[in-house]
Amino acid sequence: MAVTAAMVKELREMTGAGMMDCKKALSATDGDMEKAVEFLREKGLAAAAKKAGRIAAEGLVTTKIEDGKAVVVEVNSETDFVSKNADFQGYVADVATAVMMSGAEDIEAFLAEPWFLDKELTVAQALSEKISVIGENLSIRRFARMNEADGMIVSYIHGGGRIGVLVQAEAPEAEESREALKNIAMQIAALRPQYISRDEVSDEFMAKEREILMAQILNDPKEAAKPEKVIKGIVEGRLSKEMKDICLLDQVYVKAEDGKQTVAAYLKEVGKAVGAPVTLKKFYRFETGEGIQKKEEDFAAEVAKQMQK
């Protein structure tokens, strides 16, 4: 497969690796983007896990908790200007209400449902009307739900809607419990864990990470010269460090006074204070535009184009 400049650019933006390294990775993997990211990681040329999710679109994330239910939704716009528009913000709030009322399991089913503010329109048709009013392409990208019957729920919005978090836990109803979950929601927003604990990490993921870490070592002549037992120890050490980054309970609690207390230790401390364990069950973290390729605009050219009309 021919490697295009656009493909090289996309891989470079995803990984932060050099242009020639990206071109080499794509050539070596026949243009497969995922394999190219893996190739760069193995060569130690990319921190893909941390860079692949760079924000590349505009819009808002919002949460809503009402009548024992909770939702988090993301609605995208083309520009940051529109995301600050009161009309758009009101529409996003309406979408959250619609999701809460809906039984749809995915975006396609949701878009086909009647719009609660005008039952003669579907959600998709109401979206089209809003696009016409605002004058910019909009997209209802994703949503997730929780039910308070499954545990206490707390929400957190960061950056005026840039990041939205829902976190759920089995915990006694107490002010200390809710404050603790709010702190955990802020932790999730800041440090973007992928799992609650290592128990959620699949064997396949662990095996793949060991393979990548081993390849990184073998590509370094100094590291590769070490005894096999030492190399395996290095791999397990690096894997353990990675788990501390991506598993919430293993992360250092951001408000820890000693800079060492883990989230697990913090929740154990809270549990003692409220007289019962505080056990995390689930969380959702939505970041606006995460993983979406943002269209580059030449503002001067756009103005000139508009003036010619």
CATH code for the domain of 67: 3.30.479.20
Q: Which has the closest alpha carbon to 72: 307, 296, 285?
A: 285
The answer to which of 27-41, 192-206, 214-228, 283-297 has the lowest mean pLDDT is 283-297
How many domains, the chain? 2
Query: Does a structural domain hold residue 97?
Result: yes
Same domain, residue pair 68 and 92: yes
Report the C-alpha gap between 236 and 296 in whole angstroms: 41
**Token reading at 253:** 């609690």
Please state the rounded mean pLDDT for residues 102-119. 95
Q: For residue 58, report the phi and psi dihedrals to the nearest 5 degrees.
A: -110, 175
Query: Does a structural domain hold residue 253?
Result: no
Going by pLDDT thresholds of 50, 70 and 90, the confidence category of residue 54 is: very low
pLDDT of residue 45: 65
Same domain, residue pair 103 and 128: yes
pLDDT of residue 55: 38
Q: Please say which residue of 30, 54, 78 terminates a domain.
A: 54
Same domain, residue pair 50 and 62: no
Same domain, residue pair 122 and 141: yes
Query: Does a structural domain hold residue 139?
Result: yes
The answer to which of 6-15, 266-275, 280-289 has the lowest mean pLDDT is 6-15
Query: Does a structural domain hold residue 114?
Result: yes
Going by pLDDT thresholds of 50, 70 and 90, the confidence category of residue 16 is: low
Q: Please say which residue of 34, 54, 74 terminates a domain.
A: 54
Domain of 38, CATH number, reads 1.10.8.10
pLDDT of residue 297: 46
Same domain, residue pair 63 and 143: yes
Q: Say which DSSP state 69 is in.
A: E
Domain span at residue 33? 1-54
Query: Does a structural domain hold residue 93?
Result: yes
Same domain, residue pair 46 and 62: no
**Token reading at 151:** 């545990």
Q: Please say which residue of 150, 180, 198 terminates a domain.
A: 150
State whether residue 229 is helix, strand or coil. helix
pLDDT of residue 87: 95
Q: Which has the closest alpha carbon to 280: 200, 192, 145, 171?
A: 171
Query: Does a structural domain hold residue 172?
Result: no
List, in order, residues 6 or more apart from 137 with CB less than 8 Å away.
77, 78, 131
Q: Say which DSSP state 45 is in.
A: -
Please state the rounded mean pLDDT for residues 232-245. 91
Rounded to two decimals, the pTM is 0.75
Query: Does a structural domain hold residue 270?
Result: no
**Token reading at 102:** 């809906």
Same domain, residue pair 66 and 108: yes
